[in-house]
Amino acid sequence: MLLPGLCFGDEHVDVVVSACLLGESCRYDGGSKPCAAVRLLSGKVSAHPICPETAGGLPVPRPPAERVGSRVLMRDGTDVTDAFVSGAHACIEMTRTSGAALAILKARSPSCGIGSVYDGTYSGRLVRGNGVFAELLEKEGVCMVTEEVVESCRPSVEHPVAIVLGTGLGHLRSLVHPVRRIDYHDIDGFPVDARPIEGHSFEVTIGTVDDVPVVVYPGRIHLYQGYSASEVVALVRHAHRLGCRDIIFACATGAIPGNAHTGLGILTDQINLTGVNPLVGDSSQRGLETPFVNMNEAYSPYLRTLARGVADDLGIAVEEGVYAGVVGPSSETPAEVRMLAGMGVSYVGMSTVCEVIEAQALGMNVLGLTMAANYSGEGAVSHEAVLEGAQRHADDFESLVRGILRLL
């Protein structure tokens, strides 16, 4: 079903969306729960509105319903499980037909709740679990997020997108319409004696890219240069203080033969082999409530799915895989490459892992992108070769980042 009055975009990024979030009056009380951020995104993608309850034949309006174990009961005790299941299966078929890899669902509902749903007491209390439709989507391998996630990832002047660029990728700053520049050495915690290596620059550019507010960091420092983990993540803390909620880390890596090819990649997870962690020490002095940070989904599934959709839409070859961070600066031995391959690693590099840990501790949404310039452990690897590889993929990298920003 398509909603009257809504103009969906011409992009080929397919997204399933709870119809009530787009303004359709399909909720139990005859109303809707429109979300501005979801409507904005839906205008830029191929949106497919769904409502499992109405698809299952339930009337509008109707008594409210909540999950009680495996059943769905109305407030008056009527068992409507069969209608919810029937509607969920009908919407799964629509999802399959559309090819959507992302679903934006109404939080906490008995059909579409993700992670928690109302507990059946009609008191507003929640219990862990998914809604009936969300359970089926999870089995299908579809990335599911609530409207709250979409809202939290929406950039604004108060909450610009931070972009940290690695070796050879700093050219992206040339796209920024600048309103302010900041020398790295004016950033609290950044070492005053640091000097950029080739392919990096130490000047923050604040402005917009295609009207999207951004803060671009066209370079970084590394552990192998002798800096501490706390100094390495100073840019992340700075971005957070500027109000950034989303942060994109771009890095140059080596591809692990058999697990990844050279070229552009999306990071799905990480293994920290550096032996250090930026959260060690007195975290309270850096504004962290606790050093015990959950690293599940360290790289936002929502942002990864958007990036994958943009790449497919633009015809950009992009792989996905796990990133291993090492200290460097020496390259990996053949034995180390075999070990990494056995661990399921796709990319190995000398940055990013500590930055992602810090970003997670600060509650930021993380997207990791890489440019794999060479196959790790094969032939001589030079800094110049990395720069040349970055240049070869510069246009695709630029298009990918701009496409992601456009959707955000």
- State the pLDDT at residue 201: 84
- State the pLDDT at residue 168: 66
Residue 315 main-chain phi, psi, to 5 deg: 70, 30
**Residue 124, number of CB atoms within 10 A of its CB:** 8
Residue 1's pLDDT band, with cuts at 50, 70 and 90, is very low
By the 8 A CB rule, do 266 and 368 touch? yes
Q: Which domains does the chain have, with CATH numbers?
A: 14-152 (no CATH), 155-407 (3.40.50.1580)
Pairing mode, if any, of strands 177-183 and 203-209?
A: antiparallel
What mean pLDDT do residues 110-114 have?
A: 95
Q: Of how many residues is the chain composed?
A: 408
Residue 269's pLDDT band, with cuts at 50, 70 and 90, is very high
What mean pLDDT do residues 77-98 have?
A: 96
State how far Cα 165 lies from the chain centre.
16
Q: What is the mean pLDDT of the chain?
A: 91
pTM of the predicted model as reported, rounded to 2 decimal places: 0.91
- State the pLDDT at residue 381: 65
What are the residues whose beta carbons fall under 8 Å from the beta carbon of 399, sequence distance 6 or more?
A: 314, 316
Question: Does residue 62 sit in helix, strand or coil?
Answer: coil
Helix (H) or strand (E) holding 1: none
Pairing mode, if any, of strands 102-105 and 14-18?
A: parallel
- State the pLDDT at residue 257: 96
End-to-end CA distance of the chain: 25
Residue 284's pLDDT band, with cuts at 50, 70 and 90, is low
Q: Give the start-end residues of each E strand in 51-176.
A: 65-68, 71-74, 102-105, 116-118, 126-128, 143-146, 161-164
- State the pLDDT at residue 2: 36
What mean pLDDT do residues 276-296 have?
A: 79
